[in-house]
Amino acid sequence: MADVSGEAAATPKQRSESRSDTGDVVPGNQTLSKRQKKKLLKQQKWEEERELRKRRRKERKQQRKLQRQNTQQENRGDGPSGRKRPCTEATPSSLRLLVDCSFDNLMLIKDVRKLHKQIQRCYAENRRASHPVQFYLTSLGGQLKQSMDEKDKGWVNWKDITIKAEHYSEVVAKDELVYLTSDSPNVVEELDQKKAYVIGGLVDHNHHKGISYERAKELGIGHAQLPLSSFVKMNSRKVLAVNHVFEIILAYLEKGSWQEAFFTVLPQRKGAIAISQDGTNRQENQDDDEGLDSDSNLDAAEKTVIRDQN
């Protein structure tokens, strides 16, 4: 039967639902509480501002990218506060430093990537050194080359560096080679400008102890260790990262003092203490390394490496 008012009778579902003043459907003829309305409005606002938040995130990401680019430009010397010295201030050294990359098959990929960062640091430091050395990479290939191709395509444009796929013994005459290894009984007192010093490109966490020393003996080439024990007492092992050895030599060429070179470069974590002439401990090293570490700091190395794209 039709309603006398002329309106259709409400169905059970219609009678069980009503709308609040805001137009929201509320079950059981119940109106929204203030808290519920506030929550609902907040949710609506959140949905409405979704695109705005997305745009803001994109803008912040772009700003961070520009900041990184500006920092890299300053490190390359492109900006007014760049750290790279003008060419007129640099006096190139005739000393040759080679990084032997023939240990590729002995490393895990994570350690290969650490070696890659250490090499980047060597390149960056040599480019802004007061007495840059003749820098060589030898036996480049395998995992290391793949990492460099993937992570830093600009390496093919690096300047003032000689990169060879051949072994170092095929690049430099054997009688001119001196392999730097902490296992050698010989100690470098003075750097011979006529020699080519080899640094083992290996990050192995001491899994292959003495391997570079053994290979040097097998090849019949000279070998020696830096005079670390004569100037520094260390809490940890004497094995240093590739970039540490490289930077110590650069610092020695600049300062003319092994002790100054060691304390300029050695990271604080190694607990280095200077040794006086009578063999006693004289002072603790307070110089803080710039985030450089043989097992970490991939991000720090990224900030300092120079990529020449031209």
Q: CATH code at 134? A: 3.40.1280.30
Residue 31 lies in a domain: no
- C-alpha 171/C-alpha 15 separation (Å) is 93
> Whole-angstrom Cα distance, residue 235 to residue 251?
22
Residue 212 resides in a domain? yes
Question: Picking from 62-76, 138-152, 253-267, which range would have the lowest pLDDT averaged per residue?
Answer: 62-76
Q: Is the pLDDT of residue 225 over 50?
A: yes
173: in domain:
yes
Residue 221: pLDDT above 90?
A: yes
Cβ count within 10 A of residue 256: 9
Residue 274: the pLDDT is 63
Pick 103 or 291 by higher pLDDT: 103
Evaluate if residue 167 carries a pLDDT over 60. yes
Contact assessment for residue 203 and residue 294, using Cβ atoms and an 8 Å cutoff:
yes
Residue 146: inside a domain: yes
| pLDDT reported for residue 76 | 54
In the beta sheet, which residues pair with residue 196?
A: 96, 177
Handedness of CA 236, 216, 115, 206 (dihedral sign): negative
Contact 251/261 with Cβ under 8 angstroms? yes
- Residue pair 76/68 in contact by the 8 Å Cβ criterion: no
- pLDDT of 265 strictly over 60: yes
- How many angstroms separate the first and last alpha carbons of the chain? 90
pLDDT single digits (tens) 278-298: 445 544 443 333 333 444 343
Which letter does DSSP use for residue 133 in this model? Answer: -
Active-site annotation holder among 152, 160, 183, 204: 204
Question: Domain of 177?
Answer: 96-227
Q: Per-residue confidence at 276, pLDDT binned at 50, 70, 90? A: low
**37: in domain:** no
Residue 190 lies in a domain: yes
Give the largest Cα separation in the chain, rounded. Answer: 118
Confidence of residue 38 (pLDDT cuts 50, 70, 90): confident
Asked if 278 is an active-site residue, the reply is: no
Residues 37 and 41: their CA atoms lie apart, in Å, by 6
Res. 256: pLDDT tops 70: yes
43, part of any domain = no
Do the domain assignments include residue 238?
no
Would you give the DSSP letter of residue 197?
E
For residues 235 and 270, the answer to whether their CB atoms sit within 8 Å is yes
Between 238 and 286, residue with greater pLDDT: 238
**Number of domains, the chain:** 1
Q: Please tell me which of 23-37, 44-58, 156-170, 268-282 the model is most confident about, judged by mean pLDDT.
A: 156-170
Query: Would you state the pLDDT for residue 237?
Result: 57
